[in-house]
Amino acid sequence: MSTVNKISKKANYYTERYRPQFHYSPQKNWMNDPNGMVFYRDEYHLFYQYHPEGSEWGPMHWGHAISKNMVDWEHYPIALEPDALGMIFSGSAVVDWNDTTGFFGGKEGLVAVFTHHSKEEVQSQSIAYSNDKGRTWIKYNGNPVIPNEGIKDFRDPKVFWHNETNEWKMVIAAGQKVMLYSSPNLKEWTYLSDFGANEGAHGGVWECPDLFRLPVDGNIHQQKWVLQVDLGDGAIAGGSGSQYFIGDFDGTTFVNENKPSETLWVDYGRDFYAAQSFSDVLKEDGRRICMAWMSNWRYANKVPTTPWRSAMSIPREMELRQNDNGNIKLFQKPITELQTLRQSKVNISNEFVNGDKNVLANQEEDVFEIVAEIENLSAVEFGFKVRKSSLNKEETIVGYNFNKEELFINRENSGENSFSEEFSGRHAVKLTSSKESIRLHLFIDKSSVELFFNDGEVVMTDLIFPKEDSKELELYVIDGEVKVISLEVYSLRSIWNEQR
Ligand code: FRU
């Protein structure tokens, strides 16, 4: 397969209009959730919900890609296809290091745990295994391993090994709650508990949960559990989105340490869904890294891209940290491997800027990264206008308004938006920054913006569909002055096309 990819990396590969240059997208057809993310023998595996016959959602398969660094990806053949038990919906994968399954003759191997969705729309949980580093998969002949006992939406199992109890655990979405199970061998599962019927946000069906432990402020003696649960509608920016809970998991039950009515959001933009973290990242590495589907069920089937539909977010490292108000929150930072994308650089420091001049007036960028630290002296609002064109009257605004104490992305004039009434809009989050300066870290690709605010305390992800030549860039300031402490703009290389 790697030869196939190398040949196709020539001219004209991944050069279509809107084609992401440093995000994963399939060569053609429909993709949704990331699945089965696992690190094994120096390879990161990304499987994904895939419809190989069309560019709208349809009979689900698991597509497959492999990376050595989570930045550069190679396409692999489809890993799992529908069978007599149904389509292959979302799920996870683990390394069965001690052959608890008995699939590997005393050695180790990969096991995928996923949902079968039958013709009658009944969902049950099944497993498959691979002896050849994920290249080919054999479905277990005892499937399903968890049959459906009358739950309508029962899907997206995420499995992990729990050292204290010496067992596998599964967290799975079940209507308006999650259920927890345990198993000695990934084949026989015992129900443990459920969580969430009266906690957090419930604007839509619960889907794609994840459960993992993280140190607080890097202190391994103070660890907490994070339960991430996505909801199909009613999220903070409208439509589908991702929430999380912080608390404790004793091997049987998850307990939320915040008020049940409090909802914490993983991402405040419109296009970050079905996030999942990599399993089995090396202990020496220790990072918890997640990726999500960059779309929203409100318009996912209509976004104006062809011959593919949808891309994944950049990989993000998840951390728990105490914020300035003393609350423990999930912080996210772009993984350091992404720095290998950086090409040329613009550097500005210690410069006073008001509304009269645009210090980035000479720049033209469409695939780039901005790292900025800016101190407000007297401005009402400042930010960046990206993928802008005075001629095309296009711009996407990423800014902070001091009067409203609001961080926002405005994509009302970002480009093509007629494909869905749900698409256009301004997505904002209220937050006060007690720091003197504000840090904005932005990743802009051909059709997306990812914003990390103050070291990833707040993150926003939005799709955009600007014209090819909308490449102007502006640091704008309204009513006053700011001091640019530091500002770096990097052009980013394409992971698909060496000529670009
Ligand atoms: C989330 C989801 C999952 C399901 C999959 C089907 O986007 O609805 O709950 O397993 O997509 O493609």
How would residue 4 be classed by pLDDT, with cut points 50, 70 and 90? very low
Residue 177 belongs to domain spanning: 29-313
Indicate which atom in ligand 1 lies nearest the CA of residue 240: 7
Look up residue 315 and give its DSSP letter.
P
* 307, 366: one domain: no
- Asked if the model's pLDDT at residue 1 lies above 80, the reply is no
**With contact defined as beta carbons under 8 Å apart, do 245 and 226 qualify?**
yes
* Mean pLDDT for the stretch of residues 399-411: 96
Give the count of domains, the chain. Answer: 2
Query: What is the whole-number distance in angstroms between the Cα of residue 318 and the centre of ligand 1?
Result: 22
Residue 188 located in a structural domain: yes
Binding-site residues, ligand 1, Cβ < 6 A: 32-33, 49, 60, 89-90, 115, 155-156, 207-208, 274
Query: What is the whole-number distance in angstroms between the Cα of residue 158 and the centre of ligand 1?
Result: 13
Distance CA 76, CA 491 (A): 28
**With contact defined as beta carbons under 8 Å apart, do 240 and 230 qualify?**
yes
Query: What is the whole-number distance in angstroms between the Cα of residue 36 and the centre of ligand 1?
Result: 13
- CATH number, domain of 387, equals 2.60.120.560
Distances (CA, A) of 284 to 160, 222, 287, 337, 445: 18, 18, 9, 16, 32
Residue 332 located in a structural domain: no
Residue 178 located in a structural domain: yes
* 76, 191: one domain: yes
Supply the residues annotated as catalytic: 33
Residue 334: both structure tokens together = 């772009």
**With contact defined as beta carbons under 8 Å apart, do 26 and 35 qualify?**
no
Say what the pLDDT of residue 325 is. 86
Residue 199 located in a structural domain: yes
Distance CA 422, CA 238 (A): 9
The residue whose CA is least distant from atom 9 of ligand 1 is: 207
Long-range pairs for 103-112: beta carbons < 8 A, 24 or more residues apart: 103/129, 103/131, 103/138, 103/140, 104/129, 104/131, 110/38, 110/40, 110/45, 110/134, 111/186, 112/35, 112/36, 112/47, 112/62, 112/79, 112/80, 112/137
* 64, 139: one domain: yes
Per-residue pLDDT tens for 352-371?
999 899 999 999 999 999 99
* Mean pLDDT for the stretch of residues 478-496: 97
Residue 18: both structure tokens together = 């809107």
Query: What is the whole-number distance in angstroms between the Cα of residue 233 and the centre of ligand 1?
Result: 13
Residue 15: both structure tokens together = 């050069």
Ligand 1 pocket test target in 29, 33, 124, 240 with most atoms within 8 Å of CB? 33
* Mean pLDDT for the stretch of residues 421-437: 89
What pTM was estimated for this model as a whole? 0.96
Look up residue 435 and give its DSSP letter.
S
* 302, 426: one domain: no
Of the residues 267, 293, 313, which one is the last residue of a structural domain?
313
Ligand 1 pocket test target in 29, 32, 122, 206 with most atoms within 8 Å of CB? 32
* 195, 276: one domain: yes
- Asked if the model's pLDDT at residue 331 lies above 80, the reply is yes
* 155, 303: one domain: yes
Say what the pLDDT of residue 436 is. 84
**59 φ, ψ (degrees, to nearest 5):** -55, 120
In angstroms, the first-to-last Cα distance of the chain is 22
Helix (H, G, I), strand (E, B) or coil at 458: strand
- CATH number, domain of 38, equals 2.115.10.20
Residue 23: both structure tokens together = 């995000």
Query: What is the whole-number distance in angstroms between the Cα of residue 456 and the centre of ligand 1?
Result: 27
Residue 444 located in a structural domain: yes
* 302, 374: one domain: no
* 77, 221: one domain: yes
The residue whose CA is least distant from atom 6 of ligand 1 is: 89
Residue 191 located in a structural domain: yes
Per-residue pLDDT tens for 62-119?
999 999 999 999 999 999 999 999 999 999 999 999 999 999 999 999 999 999 999 9
Distance CA 94, CA 210 (A): 13
